[in-house]
């Protein structure tokens, strides 16, 4: 392999000198720098990056089109129905936590309803 010579800009050479450890030759510094560069990923061109982003966007749009509409498994309760259900369950001995879990509401909501009804 034929050796290659090149001239580094002064600022690059100065930055490499700052990396020199005590007793280390510049050749060793160059070798460490080359090893570090070889381990880094190759630079990505803007065209390639744009193409990847376009492909990702197209895939996301396709997934959105495929997604089924979200339909609740039960109709939403109006406040009076919910309050009545909470009261019935509480009077039958269920805990506030169990009531909240079964109705799909926060336990603090159950407590607020019971407090409002003075129970």
Question: What are 10's two structure tokens?
Answer: 């002064």
Stretch 17-45: mean pLDDT: 74
* Domain-wise residue ranges, the chain: 10-39, 79-116
Radius of gyration of the chain from its Cα atoms, rounded to whole angstroms: 34
Stretch 78-97: mean pLDDT: 90
| Residue 73 per-residue DSSP state | S
| Average pLDDT score, the chain | 78
The pLDDT of residue 74 is 62
Q: In angstroms, rounded to a whole number, what is the distance separating the alpha carbons of residues 25 and 17?
A: 10
Place of tokens 């100065």: 14
Place of tokens 């080359």: 34
The pLDDT of residue 71 is 60
Q: In angstroms, rounded to a whole number, what is the distance separating the alpha carbons of residues 5 and 9?
A: 13
Alpha helices in 67-95 (DSSP H): 79-91
Model confidence at 65, in pLDDT bands (50, 70, 90)? confident
- Contacting residues for 87 by C-beta, under 8 A, at least 6 apart: 113, 114, 117, 119
The pLDDT of residue 41 is 61
The pLDDT of residue 31 is 78
């Amino acid at each position: 392999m034929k050796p290659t010579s090149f001239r580094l800009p002064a600022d690059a050479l100065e930055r490499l000198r700052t990396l020199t450890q005590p007793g280390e030759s510049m050749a060793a510094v160059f070798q460490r720098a080359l090893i570090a560069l070889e381990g880094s990923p190759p630079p990505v061109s803007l065209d390639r990056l744009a193409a990847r982003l376009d492909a990702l966007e197209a895939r996301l749009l396709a997934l959105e089109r495929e997604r089924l509409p979200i339909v609740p498994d039960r109709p939403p309760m109006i406040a009076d129905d919910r309050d009545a259900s909470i009261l019935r369950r509480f009077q039958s001995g269920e805990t506030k936590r169990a009531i909240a879990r079964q109705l799909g509401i926060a336990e603090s909501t159950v407590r607020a309803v019971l407090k409002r009804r003075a129970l």
